[in-house]
Chain A
Amino acid sequence: MLARQTQNKALQWLGRQLFNRDDPAAFFDPLLEQVNPMWVQQYTPALVKQIINETSDTKTLVLKPAAHWEGFEAGQHVNICVEIDGVRHDRTFSLSSAPALWKKQGLVTLTIKRLPGGLVTNWIHDRLEAGTTIGLKEAFGEFRLPATPRPILFIAGGSGITPILSMLETMAADDYRAPVTLLYFVRTSSDIIAREKLEALASRYPALTLTIIITHESDEPRYLRESDLQAVPGLKARDVYMCGPGGLMDLAGSQLQNLGVKEDSIHKTFFAAPATVLDGGAVGGTVQFAKSQVEVSSEGDANLLEMAEAAGLSPRYGCRMGICHQCSCRKTSGTVINRITGQSSGPGEENIQLCVSVPQGPVSVEA
């Protein structure tokens, strides 16, 4: 559901008058895409230039977005849209290339790991071919480098390295003058993503200290230890950027707290929907979908999107992890708990995201 909306009020008006839609250019998409898929207006098409194997389960897509794409900052992510068996699917991935590559050559890269059972990542690995196009939305996300150089510690796990690759490339190119340490955790040595690139970076960019830690090649799993953090010079003065699986993030968070690192200097980004453990007894309820006149009850932590779909409704949705807001919808009454933050909403009228909202008692939504 990557709808690109024109901001031009006159165009919007004309679109409504002539085609009953706000985006008049997209009216012609069905014809334009027959001539050249890169002319599509409804979303930003991106040509798949090349697909590179990084590891046995990770590939890098080299994409050439249409020229009107607005670019990004290192560390940001982007929603992509692919069509599988007639169904459009949106997913969010971090951009793994540096913004300079986009500015100079009009290219960006996404580094994507195959997730067991994941519909979209498996399709990308098995079916996507160079020469085809996929949909792209504008980049977003607050996982960005500080404006003025400060000492930095990166903690990455698995494919959580991708936004950090983009940051490191940018820092090396800009000659970012502050100590930078990367602690990179991978299960086995064959899981290291972009190993050569990282090693090349470390050799040409002296401020970078690269430490790769293999967790699952010894008898005992070798996870993050406080001593790893203590070994980072000037830890307390550093900005910490973390991206990786929930277990690593939680562990790092508590160890950093023990070592006296202030919470507001820690930046996190997730690459999978964090499932906050909700107390099963306190959630669930009857949800009324007003437009469709359907009522669904749930016990436990099913979210509103799943409940609607189980009842045969098809609300709009995108990432299904609370990022893209495609499933945003007006709640008219009742309380929901946000799965990501664990916080409960007020009882009043407000916009909520169906995919991360779990009902707590009776809830009514306009959908």
Chain B
Amino acid sequence: MIKMNEQQLAELEKDLNAIRDEVLADRGERDAQYIRWIVRLHRTLEVSGRVMMPFGFIPPVFVAATAALGLSKIIENMEIGHNVMHGQYDWMNDPSLHSQTYEWDTVCTSDSWRRTHNYEHHTYTNVIGKDRDYGYAVLRLSDDVKWHPGHLFQFVNYILLTVLFQWGVGVHELESERLRRREITWKSKLPFLKDFFRKGGRQAFKDYVFFPLITFPVAPIVLAGNIGANLIRNLWSSTVIFCGHFTQDAETFTEEECENESKGHWYLRQLTGSSNFTGGKWVHLLSGHLSYQIEHHVFPDLPAHRYPEISEKVQAVCRKHGIHYNTGSFARQYGTVLKRIMTYSLPDRMRQKLTAPQPAQVM
């Protein structure tokens, strides 16, 4: 992370606050119309997916139904649930879009998410030991964690995590690594487990029991389609999220660096610890605008569809302060994520040998 003195950090804070204030002053009708349109899109996709699914014995209908339901879950989780729970639309005073009462269509309870994501991850972003989202306690993604032979198989862990992502996020707050180390007791996790089983049970009941049962003669088709839709959502959302913080140039921080930090330092950490990827309008929409992860981490409670509009200004602030603005194509950014997962599964010596800069070729 580039070193900035307190005066420079104060200047950075002022520059970013100015961008935020400009959006807040303009926030209103347009933002309300946007999120209402997204909610209509979600309802349309979910209803059409559910209605088409029993006719999935016709192969193209099966593909359309699964895709519609998968897309509806992606939009609900990414552009509605995640963003609403950040309080991006609290100002609308609409009970269906309020951060403290919204419950989303995934295993993780909204209460657990608000604690682990909104509070822990967004406050201690990429601080090793504090931000449990960095590697989700199952992946070694930097040399801050000591290597051990188990890490050799972490690509398998990654595949499992991405396929079962909603369940992984759901149990995240269990803090299994701390339970293993006996830093916390199972008893202290009972209330969490109760909520987890209730919500997880509800989600499984809906997609794997209720909808297949009411369409009994075609239950296997509906079950398969619903599993497919959940899988599509799991793969896409985990990929988007991994591209947000685990790309090659996304930095990590130590607890000491962040002790008593100023708001300016927090901003600097959000700018250097996050990474964007480029794409068309629909890529951004389906990622819940987390393709603008940098803008999101700097301004988590501004309506996300504003991020593309303020991106230029954030980049200008980065240039002014000499801060690297980490962006690239989706393929490039995701490639560096996979590379990070692979290389950090190796012992340090082997990794250093492999990734050392190659000597220049003599022409």
Contacts and interface: CB of A to CB of B under 8 A. Distances in A.
Interface of A: 1, 3, 16-18, 20-21, 26-31, 34, 42, 83, 85-90, 291, 293, 314, 316-317, 367
B90 A34 contact: no
A323 to B, nearest CB: 16
A87 B210 contact: no
A294 B27 CA distance: 23
B184 interface: no
Nearest to A3: B95
Given A20-B103, A316-B98, A30 B36 contact: yes
Nearest to B33: A86
> Which DSSP category, helix, strand, loop or mixed, fits chain B's interface?
helix
Contacts of A88: 92-94
B28 A85 contact: yes
Nearest to A88: B93
Contacts of A21: 96, 103
Contacts of A85: 28-29, 32
A291 B105 CA distance: 22
A18 to B, nearest CB: 6
Contacts of A83: 32
B210 A86 contact: no
Contact of B28 (A28, A42, A87): A87
B39 interface: yes
Nearest to B36: A30
Contacts of B189: none
Contacts of B36: 30
B100 A316 contact: yes
Given A30-B36, A316-B98, A317-B93, A17 B28 contact: no
B321 interface: no
B44 A31 contact: yes
Interface in B62-112: 87, 90-96, 98-101, 103-105
Nearest to B40: A30
Nearest to A293: B119
B216 interface: no
Given A18-B206, A27-B43, A31-B40, A87 B95 contact: no
Between A17, A20, A27, A291, the greatest number of chain B beta carbons within 10 A of the residue's beta carbon is seen for: A20
B206 A17 contact: yes
A88 B28 CA distance: 11
Nearest to B110: A20
Q: Can you list the 3 inter-chain pairs with the closest CB atoms, starting with the nearest?
A: A86-B32, A314-B90, A20-B103
A30 B80 CA distance: 14
Contacts of A34: 40
Given A30-B36, A86-B32, A86-B33, A42 B96 contact: yes
A367 B47 CA distance: 34
Interface in B3-59: 27-33, 36, 39-40, 43-44, 47
A314 B104 contact: no
B103 A89 contact: no
B96 A17 contact: no
B306 interface: no
A66 to B, nearest CB: 18
B202 interface: yes
Nearest to A81: B93
Nearest to B32: A86
A86 B103 CA distance: 22
A17 B98 contact: no
Contacts of B186: none
Nearest to A312: B301
A20 B202 contact: yes
Given A27-B43, A85-B29, A86-B32, A16 B95 contact: no
B205 interface: yes
A231 B313 CA distance: 73
B329 to A, nearest CB: 34
A322 B95 CA distance: 19
A42 B119 CA distance: 30
A20 B93 contact: no
11 contacts: A17-B202, A17-B210, A20-B103, A30-B39, A30-B43, A42-B96, A86-B30, A86-B32, A314-B90, A316-B98, A367-B100
Contacts of A26: 96
Nearest to A291: B100
A238 B95 CA distance: 44
B298 to A, nearest CB: 15
Contacts of A29: 96
Nearest to A32: B43
B95 A42 contact: yes
B100 A20 contact: no
Contacts of A3: 95
Contacts of A42: 95-96
B207 to A, nearest CB: 10
B260 to A, nearest CB: 16
A314 B43 contact: no
Given A26-B96, A85-B29, A87-B28, 4 more contacts: A29-B96, A34-B40, A86-B92, A316-B100
A85 B32 CA distance: 8
A294 B100 CA distance: 15
B28 to A, nearest CB: 4
A291 B36 CA distance: 27
A28 B44 CA distance: 9
A17 B105 contact: no
A21 B210 CA distance: 16
A245 to B, nearest CB: 28
Nearest to B209: A17
B92 A18 contact: no
A340 to B, nearest CB: 22
A314 B103 CA distance: 18
B100 A18 contact: no
B183 to A, nearest CB: 23
Interface in B262-309: none
A107 B202 CA distance: 42
Contacts of A28: 43, 47
B194 to A, nearest CB: 15
B281 to A, nearest CB: 21
Nearest to A16: B202
A87 B91 contact: yes
B31 A86 contact: yes
